[in-house]
Structure 1
């Protein structure tokens, strides 16, 4: 049922704009509610919490995946190379822990802390904490580690946490769909929200004015059961299955197609809780999946299951501009 509703919503937002027009009044109400909530924070009616280190927020204004997680991994690496000690906080979406905030390590259960948090800690080797109140997660890291900058993953709409730098990641292929707010369209906030962020990153397409380009690259696959690595080119001579439970599954399937891999594809809702039968097929063909999905499938994966890690590559010059702004915020 959830899978069907997700696909229906995607069709309305990105393909069948006619139905979106009929839902416009609800979208306008949503936009008004978002603007009013933001005004309450600006006036101090709703209080923002601050932490004693710089906070960099990475997020988007649309529902679904835009490439935030690979960007956060890239950002954490950049900060470490520049001499910072970053800590990462996130909502822990889908996590079922009984208490919050939660520290995350490489052995954490994705069902408790969320798939993205587990992926982040494994890829960055940074301290990670999750919880619905981001300031609590940040303070947990500050109390238990020596981190001196906080990166808030998917925190653009979490105004309860004060921030020093805002970075919005945009899906370059789908952009903003029909341009309407929920439920008529995919927008969490009106498009003009982007005018107030410090940087706009466009994933996978040509950038527009005042935007920076990002590409996701992946050229190898890793076996979930054995850890064996293969070039993606090795799969171009055989038929494969491909599955994805991310915000934009087509991006992953297109990556495989670009590598010359022929796949029967299967899409699942973002943050889908995979079970054994979801990744089982009545043949011996290789099954390719994203790394985000793999963290939830390792326990019951077999030798035919492979995941494809991707890496973000940012345009030249962006790193310097970001680090200069962070330095200015620190000195200010």
Structure 2
């Protein structure tokens, strides 16, 4: 999410009021004025303090895989932002079958459901309702996607993510800045995660980690990165098939995406050796209409592209167009790189609360 400095400037006089409201809300939950719900299974929240993308969904994906590999039965609970399904409980996947498409579910829940067989994915505005349904489906751990500000659900692990290239933005609270809450809200976290760390910004990440350690002693900070796991090709049937990244190396491709920070995806595309003939960045959670798809195809053809390339999150929205695409469409699947200390910390916290069998 990009907001102009002018809007931040105009909104600055209202930041203290918004900040006060968020502090009062937190105090209300802490003192029991507002009800919060405790579940019989452990809960992991993945969220952020800033507006815009910090890599929450890739982290949720990583954690779901990690938990499966360690004999947990995770389920993912999401707000379902951008989806048209408005029921109190919307089951995107029950762990066996995909039940909602990207338009109904939202792009991120649908992508998680497609790429995590065996993991139920549910959405709903009042998230305790899909959370309870997930427990009824047999989940023994709940993953809250974008859950830091969702105080009605108590949690055992409360991860706050920061994009290393953007960190805390201008450090002012909305609408005068890009913080969802005052910085003091970070005391609720059980761990900080800096995402997108690589050699060029590692010093910046280390300095921010030192700052967090000073301001919030006792809360660990973990550095994480990304790498391309594979490409996935959209077939005419609407199914996706993994293919090696080398498939498109040195070929001419046209890139596009609808994510919070499109330039980061552009850099990823260039990093796998694609000869990029052009690139279009859209707003996060962009829905693709017939006319927009036609325009993308026309533009790609004019630039001499052999194929289209997008994020895996965007790819799930194209299953209805798969049969009419005149050129191949690929999505890039990313994976999160973490250290052993991070995985050990998460698993230790969850095992301490895991129901005895």
Taking structure 2 as the reference length, what is the TM-score of the superposition? 0.83
Unaligned runs of 5+ in 2: 211-219
Structure 1 counterpart SS, 2:331: strand
Q: 1:219 to 1:318 in 2, by over 3 A?
A: closer
Deviations 1:282-326 (A, max 9, x none): 215121100111111221142332111111111232111111122
**Are 2:147 and 1:133 equivalent residues in the alignment?**
no
| 2:166 counterpart residue number | 174
Match of 1:15 in 2: none
Matched, 1:296 2:317: yes
Q: How does 1:218-237 map to 2 (within 5 A)?
A: 218=228, 220-226=230-236, 227=240, 229-237=242-250
For residues 120-269 of structure 1, the aligned pairs below 5 Å read 120-125=112-117, 126-143=119-136, 145-205=137-197, 206=202, 207=205, 208-209=209-210, 210-218=220-228, 220-226=230-236, 227=240, 229-263=242-276, 264-269=278-283
Runs of 4+, deviation exceeding 6 Å: none
Cα deviation, residue 167, structure 1 = 0.7
Give the structure 2 partner of residue 281 of structure 1.
297
Kindly state the Cα deviation for residue 22 of structure 1 after the two structures are TM-superposed: 4.5
The question of whether the paired residues in 2 share the 8 Å contact of 1:51 and 1:135 is answered with no
Q: 1:219 to 1:311 in 2, by over 3 A?
A: closer
Structure-1-length-normalised TM-score? 0.89
Aligned-residue RMSD, C-alpha? 2.1
SS in 2 for 1:218: strand
CA distance in 1, matches of 2:89, 2:102: 15
Q: 1:234 to 1:82 in 2, by over 3 A?
A: closer
The answer to whether the 8 A contact 2:230-2:242 is kept is: yes
- Equivalenced residues, count: 319
| Distance 1:224-1:277 versus aligned 2 partners, 3 A rule | farther
Which of the numbers 32, 41, 45 marks the counterpart of 2:20? 32
Report the counterpart of residue 318 of structure 1 in structure 2: 342
1:262/1:180 CA distance change after superposition, 3 Å? farther
- Whether the 8 Å contact between 2:74 and 2:142 is mirrored in structure 1 is yes
* Cα shift readout 1:209-247 (whole Å, capped 9, x = no counterpart): 342111121153222135455433443423321111112
> 1: distance between equivalents of 2:289 and 2:9?
37
Cα distance between partner residues in 2 of 1:155 and 1:19:
26
Q: Where does the alignment leave 5 or more consecutive residues of structure 1 unmatched?
A: 1-5, 13-17
